[in-house]
């Protein structure tokens, strides 16, 4: 690889960061243009971003757990994707690369706990989409799912085509949106 060429991993990380920045922009727009104008709105912009980051890391950890291993590239991806918050404050996910089953199970439990709660940004986007098809929720989830699939591209060939792990990680969000009549098509 010559000096100017990017590695496959670098390209994947850059694409994921672009999706992440799109998601953060959507969340920021929701906060700035809709919810900050409402009296008594209880969340700051940074709290919304941190909540999304914890959710996103939980989705990505869930995918790694479903594959039974925490590879070095995957854990570095999870560590570097989020800018504002963490699934577990103070935790450096890159240190868990290659960890044993007991440790990966513990991290998986933290991810499951976080995935049981719908992120505030999804609730806000659903409120905006409720009764009108603005597509905000779909755009936010599309970026989140793209990041999840990009994580999968770090794995051996062929696994990225199966989306059961991504669907399982996002299941509580899909159930919430379906129950509230929010279209994702």
Place of tokens 């989306």: 163
pLDDT digits (tens, 9 = 90+) for 131-174: 787 899 999 999 999 999 999 888 766 555 678 888 899 999 99
Q: Which of 130, 133, 141, 135 is nearest to 173 (CA)?
A: 141
Per-residue model confidence (pLDDT) at position 144: 97
pLDDT for res 70: 86
pTM of the complete model: 0.92
User: What is the per-residue pLDDT across 32-48, written as a single tens digit (0 to 9) for each?
Assistant: 988 888 888 888 999 99
Question: pLDDT digit string (tens) for 112-138?
Answer: 999 999 999 999 999 999 878 789 999
Query: Residue 67 and residue 81: Cα distance in Å, rounded?
Result: 20
Residue entry with tokens 């103070």: 90
Q: What is the pLDDT of residues 98-111, one digit of tens each?
A: 888 888 899 999 99
70: nearest Cα among 109, 28, 99: 99
* E strand spans, the chain: none
Q: If you count DSSP H runs as helices and E runs as strands, how many of each does the chain have, helices first?
A: 8, 0
pLDDT of residue 52: 97
pLDDT at residue 2 above 80?
A: no
């Amino acid at each position: 690889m010559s000096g100017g060429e990017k590695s496959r991993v670098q390209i994947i990380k850059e694409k994921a960061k672009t999706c992440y920045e799109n998601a953060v922009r959507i969340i920021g727009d929701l906060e700035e243009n809709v919810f900050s104008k409402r009296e008594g709105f209880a969340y700051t912009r940074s709290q919304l971003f941190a909540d999304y980051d914890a959710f996103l890391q939980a989705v990505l950890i869930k995918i790694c757990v479903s594959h039974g291993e925490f590879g070095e590239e995957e854990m570095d991806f999870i560590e570097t994707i989020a800018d504002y918050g963490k699934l577990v404050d103070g935790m450096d996910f890159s240190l868990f690369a290659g960890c044993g089953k007991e440790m990966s199970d513990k991290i998986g439990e933290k991810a499951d706990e976080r995935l049981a709660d719908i992120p505030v940004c999804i609730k806000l986007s659903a409120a905006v989409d409720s009764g009108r098809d603005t597509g905000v929720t779909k755009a936010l989830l599309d970026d989140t799912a793209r990041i999840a699939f990009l994580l999968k591209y770090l794995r051996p060939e062929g696994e990225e085509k199966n989306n059961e792990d991504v669907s399982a990680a996002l299941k509580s969000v899909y159930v919430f949106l379906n129950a509230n009549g929010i279209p994702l098509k």
